[in-house]
Amino acid sequence: MQYKNLHKWDVSPAEAVEIQKNLREKIITENELGEIRYIAGADISCNRLSPVGYAVVVVMTFPDLEVVEEKRVEAEIRFPYIPGLLAFREAPILLKAFEKLKIEPDLIIFDGQGIAHPRGMGIASHLGIILNKPTIGCAKSKLFGTYKEPGNNEGDFSYLYSPQEADKVIGAVVRTKSNTKPVFVSIGHKIDLQTSIKFILECRRGYRIPEPIRIAHNLVSKQI
């Protein structure tokens, strides 16, 4: 899978913030989806005290969600752990895994944030722009925003709002399994929020976490 690096990764935290602000203008929040035959899930694991990180990208058929390709990468991580700038820590190694793919996904789900981020530029948005693909952020916890708890039944959701602009929707809090903690879904790139929610729900297989990133997480956890 090919892509164009739009900036350098060996930067200071202050430079990273400026890159995020500049890239934010490139995010597309409308659907630019074609036929969805393959969905990818991407996840990374690393110890804050170790310079080594592990990334996994899994490609699955859609809607059957059968694994057709998986790529794993181990590499040194050079950027420090700074909340809000995790893309600069994690994206370089994830891109190495995407480079190895022979089957190009039509949609990518990241275990992380999209625009539900203090500068509207979580890893799902950041890599969506670089990979030029529709992407969704699906995080296990909230990074940014305010919300009311959704209903307890699977499929229930509530909106996530920007604390800076009270009426601005930046994501959704989605109950993927009844009586279980919700996940935090946000637009990455080239997709709208309702469609993002739809795909997250369609990728469930009885678990809280949608299958593409659940499988990616399980694989990357074995690497540690």
CATH number, domain with residue 73: 3.30.2170.10
Per the structure, the complete domain to which residue 95 belongs is given by: 13-144+190-221
Report pLDDT digits (tens) over 75-123.
Answer: 999 898 899 999 999 999 999 999 999 999 999 999 999 999 999 999 9
DSSP strand pairing (169-174 vs 107-110): unpaired
If one counts the domains in the chain, the total is 1
In a domain, 197, yes or no: yes
In a domain, 163, yes or no: no
In a domain, 128, yes or no: yes
pLDDT score of 223:
65
In a domain, 164, yes or no: no
Q: What is the reported pTM? A: 0.94
In a domain, 134, yes or no: yes
- Euclidean distance between CA atoms 177 and 90, whole angstroms: 28
In a domain, 122, yes or no: yes
